[in-house]
């Protein structure tokens, strides 16, 4: 029932505890130095020069646009930015109630209790997810993943704001064919899986996490000469699973499993961000990990068996939508869960970045789930992090005042000691005068100098930089995702392309134009490999034998 989007209580489940974090590779280094954009000019060039130059020998701005360092406006002013970025996402909303709800951002959701959305999928007929993944329609596949929640509702009311749980009791085979325990066994017995790179064997007992990446005969460790981890022995892995209660974390199975490859390749086009997958196979009644939060948006797909999940709100507004994952927490650190639910095959759990969670198996059967992860290092902050250094270089080159030395006494008036001196002590007798005009002048001058930098933010170049990085990180498009096969492929493809060659794009959003080191380049994912996707490196090994055309098994 897709209308049932109002949060409602969920019955309590018996206690227990975690899973370890999902995928996501660190952001790669920028592909090339950004060329700063010219600053916007509200007036003439002379006006701009006057504003930039008008800072006197004492560091005080003489510009008519001078402003004093602003007092802290408090959280309310910054909360208004939630509405700004929300408007960029949602655009015009005709429904008045929906429009009002869309103005509430992640901060409001947390202050309102971080209440989850719980939906029972009561549809009679569902779409074929494999057919959608084969076709590569990014938006339709995303609709299928979260159905019956409408995509517009998900993006407006759920994404980045609150967890969501979709129960599919009527469609337990919803995710069939993505991955199975039998697939993992096949890879192990074929000698494909290296410890650390492809699989981790772990246990968590009495609050201690241990890794058992070594075979019974002592093999499997890292080779001193090559630095390569050894291959996992199937008999050792399954003995640890069955007898010792160890769990398996399968890293990036999309490298070998075509349905996952096609699913992630489409979702990367929907989010315009690297999207990865880790799978977790745990024996029945195994102890879970400690509560923690991750720096990715997580879509948990229950494939086999059952698993108990406890979901907690971010512990503070400072931990909402974090850029880095947390350490493990103690139970006393996280309070009461807002959602406690047993996922069964076909069920979906969405958790925004910063959602504290833990999970463990229930008695009776093993559990296999896939965590699809996205939106790591994909924030406004990451875009500005690329733009600001280039803006500072441009401003320093163009504005002589930025190249002046600060006055010799500036360190005496700036810093922690100077800031503390401006604060009244806890106990004072009579009036306390914290006035430091020199400090105020210095802060005012620095603020004005900072405006010279922000006026030169090369936002288009920064976007191209991030877009080019994405093209280098993306999965190669499956053959079914392109309109026609490429006629120039392989290591020598560039030699066959001349200035007389007609070029056409075979996939929408399949390339990015960027300027790198004074050259115009076209970045694309068509030459990428699958083996090192989400591992932060180029796929120098190429595809496995028999997979030259990009098709793996599955």
440 versus 423: the higher-pLDDT residue is 440
Question: pLDDT confidence of 432, banded at 50, 70, 90?
Answer: low
CA nearest to 273, candidates 399, 407, 378: 378
Instruction: Provide the token pair at 443.
Output: 């802060």
Instruction: Among 302-316, 318-332, 412-426, 446-460, name the one with the lowest average pLDDT.
Output: 412-426
pLDDT in tens, 319-366: 999 999 999 999 899 999 999 999 999 999 999 999 999 998 999 889
Q: Can you tell me which residue has the tokens 């090994």?
A: 541
The overall average pLDDT reported for the chain is 82
- Would you state the pLDDT for residue 433? 61
Q: Supply angle C-alpha 94, 99, 100, rounded to 5.
A: 145
- Would you state the pLDDT for residue 427? 64
Distance CA 103, CA 124 (A): 34
pLDDT in tens, 393-404: 999 999 999 999
Domain limits of the chain? 45-73+386-414+435-458, 75-103, 104-117+128-179+275-378, 180-256, 474-554
Distance CA 500, CA 358 (A): 58
Q: Do residues 281 and 181 lie in contact, with contact meaning Cβ atoms separated by under 8 Å?
A: yes
- Would you state the pLDDT for residue 179? 98
Question: pLDDT confidence of 9, banded at 50, 70, 90?
Answer: very low
pLDDT in tens, 272-288: 999 999 999 999 988 77
CA nearest to 196, candidates 220, 172, 176, 170: 220
- Would you state the pLDDT for residue 99? 54
- Would you state the pLDDT for residue 276? 96
- Stretch (H or E) spanning 267: helix 258-271
Instruction: Provide the token pair at 245.
Output: 């209660």
**pLDDT over threshold 70, residue 190:** yes
- Would you state the pLDDT for residue 552? 38
Phi and psi dihedrals of 467, rounded to 5? -65, -40
**pLDDT over threshold 90, residue 538:** no
The third-level CATH classification (topology) of the domain covering 104-117+128-179+275-378 is Jelly Rolls (2.60.120)
Q: Do residues 330 and 409 lie in contact, with contact meaning Cβ atoms separated by under 8 Å?
A: no
Instruction: Among 186-190, 259-263, 369-373, 429-433, name the one with the lowest average pLDDT.
Output: 429-433
Question: pLDDT confidence of 109, banded at 50, 70, 90?
Answer: confident
Question: pLDDT confidence of 510, banded at 50, 70, 90?
Answer: confident
Kindly state the average pLDDT of the residues 18-40: 43
**pLDDT over threshold 50, residue 59:** no
**pLDDT over threshold 50, residue 17:** no
Query: What is the Cα 401 distance to its own chain's centre?
Result: 39
Distance CA 291, CA 300 (A): 16
CA nearest to 390, candidates 468, 461, 470: 461
232 versus 92: the higher-pLDDT residue is 232
Strand partners, 372: 277, 299
SS3 call for 236: helix
């Amino acid at each position: 029932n897709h209308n049932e989007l109002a949060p409602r209580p969920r019955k309590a489940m018996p206690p227990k505890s975690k899973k370890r974090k999902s995928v996501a590779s660190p952001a790669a280094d920028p592909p090339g130095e950004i060329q700063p954009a010219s600053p916007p000019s509200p007036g003439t060039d002379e006006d701009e020069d006057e504003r930039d130059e008008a800072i006197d020998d004492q560091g005080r701005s003489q510009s008519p646009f001078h402003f004093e360092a602003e007092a802290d406006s408090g959280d309310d002013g910054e909360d208004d930015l939630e509405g700004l970025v929300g408007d960029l996402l949602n655009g015009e909303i005709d429904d008045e109630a929906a429009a009002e709800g869309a103005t509430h951002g992640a901060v409001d959701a947390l202050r309102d209790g971080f209440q989850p959305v719980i939906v029972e999928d009561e549809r009679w007929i569902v779409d074929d997810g494999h057919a959608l993944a084969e076709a590569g329609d990014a938006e339709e596949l995303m609709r299928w993943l979260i159905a019956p929640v409408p995509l517009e509702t998900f993006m407006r009311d759920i994404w980045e704001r609150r967890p969501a749980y979709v129960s599919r009791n009527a469609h337990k085979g919803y995710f069939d064919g993505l991955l199975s325990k039998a697939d993992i066994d096949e890879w192990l017995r074929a000698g494909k899986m290296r410890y650390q790179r492809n699989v981790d064997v772990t246990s968590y007992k009495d609050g201690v996490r241990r890794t058992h990446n070594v075979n019974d005969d002592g093999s499997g460790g890292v080779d001193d000469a090559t630095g390569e981890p050894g291959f996992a022995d199937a008999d050792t892995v399954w003995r640890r699973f069955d007898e010792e209660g160890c769990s398996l974390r399968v890293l990036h199975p999309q490298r070998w499993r075509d349905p996952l490859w096609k699913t992630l390749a489409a979702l990367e086009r929907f989010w315009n961000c690297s999207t990865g997958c880790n799978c977790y196979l745990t024996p029945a009644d195994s102890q879970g990990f400690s509560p923690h939060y991750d720096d990715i948006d997580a879509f948990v797909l229950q494939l086999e068996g059952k698993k108990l999940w406890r979901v907690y709100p971010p512990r503070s507004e400072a931990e909402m939508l974090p850029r880095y994952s947390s350490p493990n927490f103690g139970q006393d650190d996280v309070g009461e869960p807002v959602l406690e639910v047993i996922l069964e095959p076909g069920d979906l759990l969405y958790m925004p970045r910063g959602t504290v969670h833990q999970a463990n198996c229930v008695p009776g059967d093993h559990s296999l789930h896939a965590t699809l992860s996205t939106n790591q290092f994909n924030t406004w902050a990451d875009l500005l992090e690329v733009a600001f250094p280039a803006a500072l270089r441009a401003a320093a080159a163009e504005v002589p005042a930025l190249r002046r030395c600060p006055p010799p006494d500036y360190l005496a008036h700036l810093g922690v000691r100077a800031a503390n001196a401006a604060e009244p002590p806890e106990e004072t007798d009579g009036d306390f005068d914290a006035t430091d005009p020199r400090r105020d002048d210095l802060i005012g001058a620095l603020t004005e100098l900072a405006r010279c930098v922000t006026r030169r933010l090369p936002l288009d170049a920064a976007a191209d930089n991030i877009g080019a990085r994405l093209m280098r990180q993306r999965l190669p498009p499956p053959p079914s995702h392109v309109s026609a096969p490429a006629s120039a492929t392989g290591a020598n493809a560039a030699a066959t392309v001349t200035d007389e060659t007609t070029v056409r794009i075979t996939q929408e959003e399949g390339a990015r134009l960027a300027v790198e080191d004074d050259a115009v380049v076209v970045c694309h994912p068509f030459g990428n490999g699958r083996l090192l996707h989400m591992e932060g490196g180029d796929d120098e090994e190429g595809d496995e034998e028999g997979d030259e055309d990009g098709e793996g098994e599955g």
